[in-house]
Structure 1
Amino acid sequence: MNILSIQSHVAYGHVGNAAATFPIQRMGHDVWPIHTVQFSNHTGYGAWRGQVFDAGLIGDCVAGIAERGALARCDGVLSGYMGSADTGIAILDAVARVREAHAGALYCCDPVIGDVGRGVFVRPGIAEFMRDRALPAADVVTPNQFELELLCGQGTGTQAGLRAGLAALHAKGPRAVLVTSYLGDATPDDALDLVASDGSRAWRIRTPKLALSVNGAGDAIAALFFVTYLARRSVPDALSHAASAVFGLLSATLEAGTRELALVAAQDEFVRPSRVFTPEPL
C-alpha cells in the first residue's frame, strides 16, 4: 500500500512522521511523507530549533505527486499534529484530492489536541477545527482519552460514558475509532487500556503499565492501527496488532533506558510482536 502521511517531523528522535514512517515501511508499505514542520527535536525537551512550514507547502507537494500520476495509487492519508487551522484546511484539501483520484482511499486523523495533565496544548481554534471539520471527513480517528472527551463533550470514565463517547464520535462520521490510552473506573492501577470501535461493536485490550514517559508513541500507534485496518478492514485485528507492536516498542525503549523511542532496535515488533494481546469485547 501507499500512505500519504502529513505530519510534523524532527531530525533527532521520533515523533510525527519520524515516528510513523519507519513502522509503516517495516510492515512492507510505502510512505509519502509531507512535513508540516521541521524541528531539531520534539518540543518536550523545552528547547528546539527549526521552522514551521507554510500550509501552502502541503498543496504544492500534493500537486507534484498528482503530476506524477501517483494519487490514484494512494491507499490512505494519515495526519497528525496540525499546528494551525490553515494547515488543517490544506490537509483536508489533500484528502479530497486523493479521494478524487482513488475513491477507495481512506483518511485517518490523529486529532492531536492535548492530554491528561497537560490540558490543551494546541493553538486556539484547533480543537474546534478537529471537531467540526476533520472528524466528519475522517474514516478513522485515533484520539487519546482526553481528546475523546473534548471531542464528544462528555466524561468517559465509566463503561456507559465510554460507549456514549464512542457513539458520539461515530455519529460525526468516522467508521473506526481507536482510543490510544484509556483509564476508566475499572482499569487497574498497574494497567493501561486501549479501546477501539467499529460503530456497532467495541473491544478493549489491557496491557501492563510501563514505567516510562516518552513522546511519539501515539504517532506510532495511530500509524500501525491505520495500516493494519487498511489491509484487513478489521477493527479488532488492527487493535491487536497496534497494541502488541507498540507494547513491544515501549518495552524495548524502557530496556534501552532512552528518552526517545527505540524504533530501530524494536523494528521486528512491527511485523511480529513478541507478545500478542487479544481484544476482548466491551
Structure 2
Amino acid sequence: MNILSIQSHVAYGHVGNASAAFPMQRLGHEVWAVNTVQFSNHTGYGAWRGPVFPAEAIREVVTGIEERGVLPSCDGVLSGYMGDAAIGETILDAVARVKAANPTALYACDPVIGDVGRGVFVRPGIPEFMRDRALPAADVVTPNQFELEFLAGAQVTSLDAAKAAAGALLARGPRVALVTSLQTAETPADSIEMVAVDGEGAWRLRTPLLPVSVNGAGDAIAALFFVHLLTTGSAAEALSRASSSVYGVLKATAAAGSREILTVAAQDEFVAPSEVFAPEPC
C-alpha cells in the first residue's frame, strides 16, 4: 500500500513521522512522508531547535507528489501533529486531492491536542480545528482519552462513557474510532486499555502498564492501526495487531531504560509481536 503521512518530524528520537513511517515501512508499505515541522528533538526535552513549516510549503510538496501522477495509487492519508492551525487546511486539501484521484482512499486523523496530566500542548486554534474541521472529514480517528473528552465534549470516567464518547465522534463523520491510553475507574491500576468502535460494535484491549514514559508511542499506534485496518478491514484485528506490536516495543524500551522509544532496535515487534493480545467485545 501507499500511505501519505503528513505530520511532524524530529532528527533525534522518534515522534511524528519519525515514529510512524518506519513501522509502516517495516510491514512492507510505501510511506510518502511530508513533514509539518523539522525539530532537532521532541519538545518533551524542554528545549529544541528547528522550524515549523508554513502551510504553503507543505502544499507545494503535496503538489509535487500530485504532479508525479501517483495519487490514484494512494491508499490512505494519515495526519498527526500539525504545528500550526493553518497547516490543517492544507492537510484537508491533500485529503480531497487524494480522494478525488482514488475514491476508495481513507483519511486517518490522529488528533494531537494534549494528554491527561499535561493538558493542551499544541498552538492556539489547533484543538478547535481538530474538532470542527478535521473530525468531520476523517474516516478514522485515534484520540487519546484527553482528546476524546475534548472532541466529544464529555468526561470519560468509565468504559461505557468511553464508548458513548467514541460513538458521538462517529456520528460526526468517522467510520472508526480508536481510543488510546484509556484509564477509567474500571481499569486495574497495573493496566492500560484501548477501545476501538465502529458501526459493527466495540472492542476493548487491556495490556500491562509498563514503567516507561516516552513520546511517539501514540504516533506509532495510529499508523499501525490504520494500515492494519486497511489490510484486514477489521477494527478488532487492527486493534490486536497494533497494540501487541507497540506493547512489545515499549517493553523493550522499558527494559533498556531508554528515554526514546526503541523503534529501530525492537523493529521485529512490528512484524511478529512477542506477545499477542486479543480484544474482547464490550
- Please, what TM-score do these two structures have when normalized by structure 1? 0.99
Deviations 1:106-165 (A, max 9, x none): 000000000001011112221111111000100000000000001001111123312210
Aligned position for 2:45: 45
**Aligned: 1:150 with 2:127:** no
Aligned position for 1:174: 174
**Secondary structure in structure 2 of the residue aligned to 1:242:** helix
Q: In 2, distance between residues paired with 1:167 and 1:278?
A: 22
- Work out whether residues 151 and 169 of structure 1, in 8 Å CA contact, stay in contact via their aligned partners in 2: yes
Alignment of 1:1-282 (within 5 A): 1-282=1-282
- Work out whether residues 58 and 94 of structure 1, in 8 Å CA contact, stay in contact via their aligned partners in 2: no
CA apart distance, 1:57? 1.5
Q: In 2, distance between residues paired with 1:156 and 1:43?
A: 27
User: Match for 2:211: what amino acid?
Assistant: A
- Work out whether residues 181 and 194 of structure 2, in 8 Å CA contact, stay in contact via their aligned partners in 1: yes
Q: % of aligned pairs identical? A: 67
Deviations 1:25-84 (A, max 9, x none): 000100000001001110111111111111112211111111111101100000001122
CA apart distance, 1:21? 0.6
Q: What is the total number of aligned residue pairs between the two structures?
A: 282
CA apart distance, 1:166? 1.2
User: Match for 2:46: what amino acid?
Assistant: G
Q: In 2, distance between residues paired with 1:221 and 1:192?
A: 14
Unaligned runs of 5+ in 2: none
**Secondary structure in structure 2 of the residue aligned to 1:180:** strand
**Secondary structure in structure 2 of the residue aligned to 1:14:** coil
CA apart distance, 1:200? 3.3
CA RMSD in angstroms comes to 0.8
Unaligned runs of 5+ in 1: none
**Secondary structure in structure 2 of the residue aligned to 1:36:** strand
User: Match for 1:269: what amino acid?
Assistant: E
User: Match for 1:55: what amino acid?
Assistant: A
CA apart distance, 1:167? 1.1
- Please, what TM-score do these two structures have when normalized by structure 2? 0.99
**Secondary structure in structure 2 of the residue aligned to 1:143:** coil
- Work out whether residues 163 and 197 of structure 2, in 8 Å CA contact, stay in contact via their aligned partners in 1: no
CA apart distance, 1:264? 1.2
